[in-house]
Amino acid sequence: MKRIALAVLLLALAPPARALTQPEALGLVSTLDERTHNNGDFAGLCYLEQKEKDKSDVVYELVYYRRSEGQRLLMLFTKPKSEAGKGYLRIEKNLWMYDPGTGKWERRTERERIGGTDSRRGDFDESRLAEEYDVRWEGDEKLGAYSAHRLVLSAREGADVAFPTLRLWLDSATGNLLKRQDLALSGRLMRTALYPRWKKVWSESKKGDVWYPEQIYLYDEIEKANSTMVVIKQVDLRSLSPNMFTKAWLEAKSR
Amino acid sequence: MLLVDFQIASRNLLRHTRRNLFLGGALAVTTALLVLLNGLADGMKASLLESATTLMTGHVNVGGFYKITSSTAAPLVTDYQKVLAETKKHVPELDYYTVRVRGYAKAVSEKGSMDLVLGGVDVAHEPGLRRILQRVDGRLDDLQEPGTLMLFEDQAKRLEVKVGDMVTLVAPTTRGQSNTADLRVVFIAKGVGLMSAFSSFLPAETLRKLYNLREGNTGAIQLYLKDHRKAAEVAARLRTRLAAAGWQVLDSDPKPYWMKLFQTIPSEDWTGQKLDMSTWEDEMSFLSWIFSAVRVLSTILIFVLMAIVIVGILNTLAIAIRERTREIGTLRAIGMQRRKVRWLLLLEAGLLGVISSGAGAAAALALAAGLNRAQIDVPEPVQMFLMQQHLFLATAPAGALGYAAILAAVTTLASLLPATWAARLQPISAMHHIG
């Protein structure tokens, strides 16, 4: 009985979790950005499993390429057959979509659902959260077995982002992103992302590790029955062809 | 002399009553069909004009797009009071105007989701809406409260909601950020054809909030003219005058604004505000295929019927001439010129054509008037295409007379060949003809 009373007393007297200052919180997000940044090229193979209400599950396969210089990104669907040849290309902050069926390019926004799934461009790109958002520490909490910092990110004036507010849970021990919530301007939760597994690969161009989430679970919080699982494999950081990030290259590969 | 010719032609027609009744009946039916089918197409257009100009568009719209970045477009007119003041100066034909907030959002309920073209309205100042929207459930006046939504019957079925249920709208703000609004369904209206498949209404202020718009911004100024036929002329004039007054104006593109918003505008490189003038026909151009289909089908049908009529006339006159060969020979022998023989036969066919097609047109006008008065409910699946809740045929006596005249002329022309054959008969051989 005495032991229990002592334990309760100790818990009551224990100092509350120290609030992170704004620079400290921003530092955590900057570290997250820096980890995904390669300072060179990046290639990966990705599978997207889309679950939608009243529809059968669809699995997409796509290859995607990134180049840190110019923040370029290229995505090319390879499976299923009906989607093969479709692609996205980010040039100078513009996201373009190519449809081989019509042979046309269409400009898309940051809100574009990649291939109609719950994934967005940002899920495949280098993280630039510290650039695009102001960061505030909201609290510390347990997320399953992990202790996590909960941060709130608000879009900076003029930033072209899909969600004006984000809530992030970062592993207190490793700094890895564990969970992310995307909120609408109204404050309504729109999407939740879980990052159960992070991997790192050595980058010659960066002279350091580049981190990427091997799995992401995306849940549509508006249409509750919809969700997407993203699996990233075969990451390769070798230099890519200089002419890759062009419309002509993607069109040629689509044929 | 002409009167005698008419008497001869009439008597000849009356001598072969059954044959001429059959041919005349075919002519009358063809004329009636022509009048009714065109009445249906014109009725569809009239219904579309009425419902479209109440639900979705003015006769002329001064709308526009605002692009914060080249990839983010919103359907809006900034500082619309200035645009309105300038517009009024150049449109003496203006009867009245309304100001509508425009939007496009995904509507999500507990059970389903669908895309909606949204109209932000002040229902107290939209008497036309009250006239067009027929209640299934709820009160239209409740749409004055913020956070409310009006749906059409099919939309409510698809979303599986009823009055009092909540629907979430998901849309991007003008800055391209995601936003949502939780709205209560307060009114469910009967469908009004294809337009009610995707359009819906909510208070202007609620839509403004969803799009994060300032007070002075709106979606479009809808202009209603004293004569809607001047819409294209007024739109072209406004395009020139507003450009001259310093606004950036888009070139004419006969598409509805929501098609431009998703297809054309995001691919263009400019940023900022551009105004866009459109007519009600531009906004409804996505339905033009229905009119074209009805016109093409009715044209094919009329051509087939006309071909049957022409063959019928050729055949009937050929039989008549054969039967009357001796009579024609006798007339020729006592001095009737070939021209006169041809004239008499043409007159006979012409008379048949005028009487039959006239009767057909009159019957069609009477039938159309009766159907319009009966207010026959159009079955729901057909409403989508006819764009009418009650069957309405827009027939005009002048138009019907025109169609009757065309049919009479075709009949007369078709008889030219057999009449010429008859005129060429040699009197001596014709008189000896045994038939």
In order, the DSSP letters of B212-261 are T--TT-BSEEEEEESSGGGHHHHHHHHHHHHHHTT--BPPP--S-HHHII
Please list every residue in chain A whose beta carbon sits closer than 8 Å to the beta carbon of residue B263: 106
In degrees rounded to 5, what are phi and psi of residue B271?
A: -130, 165
Using CA coordinates, name the residue in chain A closest to B267.
A107
> Using an 8 Å Cβ cutoff, are B77 and B211 in contact?
no
The 3-state DSSP class for residue B7 equals helix
Question: Which of A69-83, A227-241, B37-51 comes out lowest in average pLDDT?
Answer: B37-51
Tens of pLDDT, residues B97-133: 999 999 889 999 998 999 999 999 998 888 878 888 8
Give the residue-averaged pLDDT of A235-243: 91
Give the pLDDT score at B61. Answer: 95
> Using an 8 Å Cβ cutoff, are B218 and B100 in contact?
yes
Mark yes or no for CB contact A94/B113 under 8 Å: no
The 3-state DSSP class for residue B101 equals strand
Please list every residue in chain B whose beta carbon sits closer than 8 Å to the beta carbon of residue A223: 108, 113
DSSP B140-186: GGGGGSTTEEEEEHHHHHHHT--TT-EEEEEEE-TTS-EEEEEEEEE
pLDDT value at A2 more than 70: no
> Using an 8 Å Cβ cutoff, are B374 and B330 in contact?
no
Mark yes or no for CB contact B178/A106 under 8 Å: no
Tens of pLDDT, residues A34-75: 999 988 999 999 999 999 988 899 999 999 999 988 889 999
pLDDT value at A13 more than 50: no
Mark yes or no for CB contact A162/B70 under 8 Å: no
Tokens 């039967």 — which residue? Answer: B323
Give the pLDDT score at A10. Answer: 46
Q: Which of A135, A150, A136 is nearest to A17 (CA)?
A: A150
Please list every residue in chain B whose beta carbon sits closer than 8 Å to the beta carbon of residue A160: 68-69, 71-72, 176
Question: Using CA atoms in the order B209, B210, B213, B216, what is the torsion angle rounded to 10 degrees?
Answer: -60
* Residues belonging to chain A with any Cβ–Cβ distance to chain B shorter than 8 Å: 93-95, 105-111, 155, 160-164, 182, 184-186, 188, 190, 222-223
Per-residue burial over A133-149, b if 16 or more Cβ lie within 10 Å, else e, is bbbebeebeeeeebebb
Give the pLDDT score at B292. Answer: 79
Give the type of residue at B193. G
The 3-state DSSP class for residue A195 equals strand
Question: Measured between CB atoms, does B240 come within 8 Å of chain A?
Answer: no
Spatial separation of the C-alpha atoms in residues B225 and B343, rounded to whole Å:
52
Q: List, as ranges, residues 159-178 from B with C-beta within 8 Å of A.
A: 168, 170, 172-173, 176-178
- Sign of CA pseudo-dihedral B320, B326, B331, B336: positive
Mark yes or no for CB contact A109/B71 under 8 Å: yes
> Using an 8 Å Cβ cutoff, are B393 and B371 in contact?
yes
Query: H helices within B324-388, ranges in order?
Result: 325-333, 338-374, 380-386
Over the Cα atoms of chain B, what is R_g? 30
pLDDT band with cut points at 50, 70 and 90 for residue A11: very low
Please list every residue in chain B whose beta carbon sits closer than 8 Å to the beta carbon of residue A185: 173, 177-180, 212
pLDDT value at A193 more than 70: yes
Query: H helices within chain A, ranges in order?
Result: 2-13, 22-36, 129-132, 247-254
Mark yes or no for CB contact A184/B170 under 8 Å: yes
Give the pLDDT score at A47. Answer: 96
In degrees rounded to 5, what are phi and psi of residue A146?
A: -100, 145
Spatial separation of the C-alpha atoms in residues A151 and A50, rounded to whole Å:
28
Please list every residue in chain A whose beta carbon sits closer than 8 Å to the beta carbon of residue B69: 93, 160
Spatial separation of the C-alpha atoms in residues B189 and A2, rounded to whole Å:
71
Question: Using CA atoms in the order B86, B242, B97, B201, what is the torsion angle rounded to 10 degrees?
Answer: -130
Question: Using CA atoms in the order A243, A244, A249, A255, what is the torsion angle rounded to 10 degrees?
Answer: 140
For A129, counting Cβ atoms within 10 Å of its Cβ (0-12 exposed, 13-18 middle, 19+ buried), the class is buried
Low-confidence ranges of chain B (pLDDT < 70): 1, 380, 384-385, 387, 431-435
Q: Choose from B177, B211, B259 for mutation: most chain A CBs within 10 A.
A: B177
> Using an 8 Å Cβ cutoff, are B64 and B221 in contact?
no
Which comes out higher in pLDDT, residue B7 or A179?
A179
| ipTM rounded to 2 decimals | 0.83
Query: Mean pLDDT of all residues in chain A?
Result: 89
Spatial separation of the C-alpha atoms in residues B72 and A165, rounded to whole Å:
19
> Using an 8 Å Cβ cutoff, are B321 and B431 in contact?
no
Give the pLDDT score at A5. Answer: 58
Inter-helix orientation angle B17-55/B397-414, to 10°: 140
Give the pLDDT score at B346. Answer: 87
How many angstroms separate the first and last alpha carbons of chain A?
76
Mark yes or no for CB contact B178/A107 under 8 Å: no
In degrees rounded to 5, what are phi and psi of residue B404?
A: -60, -40
- Sign of CA pseudo-dihedral B261, B262, B265, B266: positive
> Using an 8 Å Cβ cutoff, are B187 and B135 in contact?
yes
Spatial separation of the C-alpha atoms in residues B145 and B159, rounded to whole Å:
22
